[in-house]
Amino acid sequence: MLSAFARAFRTPDLRRKLLFTIAIMAIFRVGSFIPTPGVNYTNVRQCIDQTAGGTSLLGLVNTFSGGALLQLSVFALGIMPYITASIIIQLLRVVIPRFEVLHKEGQAGQAKLTQYTRYLSIALAILQSTTVITTARQGLLFPGCTLDVIADRSVVTMLLMVITMTAGTGLIMWLGELITERGVGNGMSLLIFTSIAASFPAGLWSVMGGSNGIRNIIIVVAVVVVVIGLVVYVEQSQRRVPVQYAKRMVGRRMYGGTSTYIPIKINMAGVIPVIFASSILSIPTLIAQFGNQEAGWVQWVGDHLAAQDAPLYIAMYSLLILFFCFFYTSITFNPDEVADNMKKYGGFIPGIRAGRPTAEYLDFVSNRITSAGSLYLVVIALIPTLMVVFLGISQNLPFGGASILIIVGVGLETVKQIDSQLQQRHYEGFLR
C-alpha cells in the first residue's frame, strides 16, 4: 500500500492531480473559518463553548459543513444545498417525464440535469441561509446563550449575509467541479469527506470528558474500527445475476454469445435513507422551537422526538429508514427498464424467460436484497444512539451512521480511481 502511494507521487501527471486535489480541499477548509460579515465571531465562539456545539437539530448540517454552520462562516451551508438539490432532481424524474427523458439522453441530457441542479442549489442556498440567519437572530441557534452573535441587525446587513452565504455555496460547487475535472475522484464527494473528517478530532476530544474518559474513547475507537470494517465488507458485497447474450449475425460478423452479470448491491440506496429520516424527524423539533416552551405539546416533542435516545424516536427513525430504503431503491433500480434493455440486445437470465418474467425475477431479487440492506442501514444509523445509552456520554459523538457511510464510500471510490490510473502506468495499483 505504501509503495503504491510512493509510485502515485512519483508519477508526474498523477502527482499533479493529487496535489491539486489536496490544495482545493485546504482552500475549502480555510473558507470554513472566515466569518460572514456582520457576525460577532468572539460571541459565536463563546456560545459554541457554552452550548457544547449547538443543537442536535442542526447537527447533521453542521457535520456536513465541517463545523462551519455553527461558526456562521462564508461556507456555513457547506455542500448541503447541492446534496438536497441532487436528491430532489432524482426524485422529480418519477414525477416529470421530461427529466426522465433527459436522463436517458446520455451526456447531453446529464449536462442539462446538472445545470438544473445548480440553479436549484442556489435557490435552496438562499432559503437555507435566510433560515439560519433568522434562527441566529432569535437566539435559537445556541439555546441558553444570551450573547448576541449578530452585531448589526439592519436589513442591509441581513441581505449581505444572505448573499455571502449563497455565494459561498456557489464557490463550493465550483471547487467541487474543479476537483472532478482536474483532480482525482468526485469533487463534491471529496468535499463532503473533508467536512466530516475535520469534525472527528473535536468529537473524539469531547468523549474524553468525565471520569471514564479514557475507557470511553477506547471503546469508541474500537467500535469505529469494527463499524468501518463492516461497512467496507457490505458496501463491496453484491448479488451478481448472470446474463447470457445469444449469438447473432450482423453482415458477416458474429456478435453476442458472451456471459456477463447484473451487479445488485446490498445497499443500493446509500446514505440517502438516513438523511431523509433525520430531516423528517427534525421538522417537529424545529416547529416546537418557535412555539410556547411552556405548552404541553412542545414539552412532549422535546421528550419523545428531540431526544435521540427516546424509544419513540428510535422506533420512528428505524421505520423511516426502512421505508426510504425501499422507496429510493425503487427509483434508482427499474427492473422493467433493465429487462427491456436485455431483451432488446438479445440477453436473458438462464432459466428465466425474457420480458415480463425477467422483470419480475429482478424485482424479487432486488426486494430480497434491499430487505437485508435496509436492516443493515438501521443498525449502522442506531450505533451512535446505542453508544449514548450504554456509555452515558454526550451526543456529540465523533461519528454517525451517515458519516461512516460517506467516509467509507468516498474513500473506496477515490482509492479505486487512483488504482485504475496506477494500473494504466505501472500495471500494479493499490488493490492486489
**244, 282: one domain:** yes
To 5 degrees, how large is the angle CA 66–CA 69–CA 74?
95
In this prediction, residue 166 carries a pLDDT of 92
**235, 153: one domain:** no
In this prediction, residue 54 carries a pLDDT of 45
Question: Residue 280: inside a domain, yes or no?
Answer: yes
In this prediction, residue 102 carries a pLDDT of 84
Question: Residue 402: inside a domain, yes or no?
Answer: no
How many independent structural domains does the chain possess?
Answer: 2
Residue 296 pLDDT grade (very low, low, confident, very high; cuts 50, 70, 90): confident
CATH number of residue 356's parent domain: 1.10.3370.10
Give the DSSP letter of residue 35: B
Question: Residue 426: inside a domain, yes or no?
Answer: no
Residue 163 pLDDT grade (very low, low, confident, very high; cuts 50, 70, 90): very high
**171, 223: one domain:** no
Give the DSSP letter of residue 13: H
Residue type, 298: V
Q: Domain boundary residue among 139, 171, 199?
A: 199
Tell me: pLDDT of 301 over 80: no
Higher pLDDT, 370 or 143: 370
Give the DSSP letter of residue 36: P
Can you spell out the DSSP letters for 88-106?
HHHHHHHH-HHHHHHHHTT
Q: What is the pLDDT of residues 91-127, one digit of tens each?
A: 888 788 888 888 877 788 888 888 999 999 999 999 8
Question: Residue 419: inside a domain, yes or no?
Answer: no
Residue 55 pLDDT grade (very low, low, confident, very high; cuts 50, 70, 90): very low
**255, 220: one domain:** yes
Give long-range contacts, CB 8 A cutoff, 24+ apart: 231-238: 231/380, 231/404, 231/405, 231/408, 232/408, 232/412, 234/266, 234/267, 234/373, 234/376, 235/265, 235/266, 235/267, 235/405, 235/408, 235/409, 235/412, 236/412, 237/265, 237/266, 238/263, 238/264, 238/265, 238/266
Q: What is the pTM of this model?
A: 0.77
**151, 296: one domain:** no
Higher pLDDT, 98 or 216: 98
Question: Residue 143: inside a domain, yes or no?
Answer: yes
User: Going edge to edge, which strands form the sheet with 347-348?
Assistant: 259-265, 238-245, 347-348
**163, 227: one domain:** no
In this prediction, residue 400 carries a pLDDT of 66
Percent of the chain with pLDDT over 70: 81
Quick one: average pLDDT of 394-408? 68
In degrees and rounded to multiples of 5, residue 147 shows phi and psi of -75, 150
**149, 90: one domain:** yes
In degrees and rounded to multiples of 5, residue 325 shows phi and psi of -65, -45
Quick one: average pLDDT of 289-295? 69
**186, 215: one domain:** no
Question: Residue 424: inside a domain, yes or no?
Answer: no
**351, 366: one domain:** yes
Quick one: average pLDDT of 178-182? 88
**256, 133: one domain:** no
Q: Domain boundary residue among 199, 233, 252?
A: 199
Q: Which three cell numbers stand for residue 6?
A: 510512493
Range of the domain at 8: 1-199
Q: Domain boundary residue among 183, 199, 215?
A: 199
Nearest to 70 by CA among 38, 36, 37: 36
Q: What is the pLDDT of residues 341-352, one digit of tens each?
A: 888 877 888 888
**179, 209: one domain:** no
Burial of 196 (0-12, 13-18, 19+ CB in 10 A): buried
**166, 290: one domain:** no
Q: What is the pLDDT of residues 58-76, one digit of tens each?
A: 566 666 666 667 778 888 8
Q: Which three cell numbers stand for residue 258?
A: 458472451
Ranking 43-57, 117-131, 315-329 by mean pLDDT, the lowest is 43-57
Question: Residue 113: inside a domain, yes or no?
Answer: yes
Question: Residue 415: inside a domain, yes or no?
Answer: no
Percent of the chain with pLDDT over 90: 6
Ranking 11-25, 58-72, 176-190, 408-422 by mean pLDDT, the lowest is 58-72
In this prediction, residue 249 carries a pLDDT of 61
Residues in the chain: 432
Highest mean pLDDT among 7-11, 117-121, 198-202, 231-235 belongs to 117-121
Tell me: pLDDT of 324 over 90: no
Higher pLDDT, 207 or 92: 92
Ranking 220-224, 235-239, 405-409, 425-429 by mean pLDDT, the lowest is 425-429
